[in-house]
Amino acid sequence: MRYHAPASFEDASRIAASATGVTRFLAGGTDVLVQLRAGMVIPDDLIDLKKIPGVSDIVKNGDGGWTIGVAVPGIRLGADSALVADWPGVVEGMELVGSTQVQGRATLTGNLCNGSPAADSVPGLVAAGATVSVTGPEGSRTIPVEEIPTGPGKTSLKPGEVATAINLPPRGEHGGDAYLRFIPRTEMDIAVVGCAVNLKLDGDTITEARVVLGAVAPTVVLVPEAAAAIVGTTLDDAALAALDAAARAACNPISDKRGTVEFRIDVAGVLARRAARIAYDRAKGAKA
């Protein structure tokens, strides 16, 4: 195995583009190193991104949006009170990843690029409308987070492409988001279902929403029908029932040891209701 520690994303991309065997980028390593030690994936080229300037930075931009470096661990997100105030749902998704030890290393970017349909931070990012900056042999581009995962363990990143940052839009006024997951244990488990809701209010009325489900399909699912069920409402009982139905209808899960198809579909509706309620209350000023 060849270990590389490039000083720029361009160099990281060049190394990855010219590699012919199995290549992995090393962010926190909580997926890569576990797979390596278990002998599941032994990279020929391991490209450590942590020596690249800026990768550990959390930056609030002039327009109110956020740029989060690809090596920022979950624990730093939770410690940033301004970020938590703007995007509590994004942060709580990442904070559910693993244990205190895992939190000290695991990153949003690694969680996304690992390609797990159950990745806990991804629904919140998609609900927020986050984008990913990418550099590759053909230059740089910015893509919506939902376009990165294409199936279990798979992404749309082309050979030689490396994610360079996660971008969150400006929070703006009267908005709130939330992420909930169901796991059989109280912690350290993989989501059976996850749901993120992000919404904006005008007075008591929802004017915009994004509803995203995790672990109920090969990738996270953005559900416009679920958003449509609550936009224009005050999240009354009828709206919550319509949201529940739309979330259930969007599910295409598998049965496994954590839950059956039927159970996952039921839980998706329940979590959508609960996450929407929390997001709504946060948009009204409730603190995370």
Ligand X SMILES: Cc1cc2nc3c(=O)[nH]c(=O)nc-3n(C[C@H](O)[C@H](O)[C@H](O)COP(=O)(O)OP(=O)(O)OC[C@H]3O[C@@H](n4cnc5c(N)ncnc54)[C@H](O)[C@@H]3O)c2cc1C
Provide the binding-site residues for ligand X, judged by CB under 6 A: 24-32, 34, 49, 70, 96-98, 102, 105-107, 109-111, 113-114, 119-120, 157, 162-163, 188
Chain-centre distance of CA 84, in angstroms? 15
Alpha helices in the chain (DSSP H): 9-18, 32-37, 74-79, 81-86, 88-95, 100-103, 108-113, 122-128, 224-230, 237-249, 261-283
The residue whose two tokens read 């004017």 is: 207
Judged by beta carbon, residue 120 or residue 177, the one nearer ligand X is 120
Burial group, residue 216, by CB count within 10 angstroms (0-12, 13-18, 19+): buried
Between 113 and 192, CB nearer to ligand X:
113
Q: How far is the CB of 55 from ligand X (least distance, A)?
A: 8
Residue of minimal CB distance from ligand X? 110
Which of 72, 243 has the CB closer to ligand X?
72
**Residue 65 near residue 167 (C-beta atoms within 8 A):** yes
Cα–Cα dist 259/269, whole Å: 15
Nearest-angstrom CA–CA distance, 148 and 29: 19
Q: Copy the structure tokens of residue 84.
A: 């938590």
The least distance separating ligand X from the CB of residue 15, rounded to whole angstroms, comes to 12
User: Closer to ligand X at the Cβ: 69 or 175?
Assistant: 69
For the chain, helix (H) and strand (E) counts, in that order, are: 11, 14
Helix (H, G, I), strand (E, B) or coil at 182: strand
Q: In the complex with ligand X, which residue's Cβ is closer, 167 or 233?
A: 167
Minimal distance, residue 201 CB to ligand X, in Å: 29
User: Closest separation between CB of residue 147 and ligand X, Å?
Assistant: 14
Nearest approach, Cβ of 13 to ligand X (angstroms)?
9
Q: How far is the CB of 8 from ligand X (least distance, A)?
A: 13
Q: Which is nearer to ligand X, 99 or 255 (CB)?
A: 99
Reduced to 3 states (helix: H, G, I; strand: E, B; else coil), residue 4 is strand
In terms of C-beta density within 10 A (0-12 exposed, 13-18 middle, 19 or more buried), how is residue 270 classed?
A: middle
Collapse the DSSP code of 30 into the 3-class scheme (helix H, G, I; strand E, B; otherwise coil) and give the result.
coil
Find the shortest distance in angstroms from Cβ 140 to ligand X.
13
Q: Which is nearer to ligand X, 34 or 79 (CB)?
A: 34
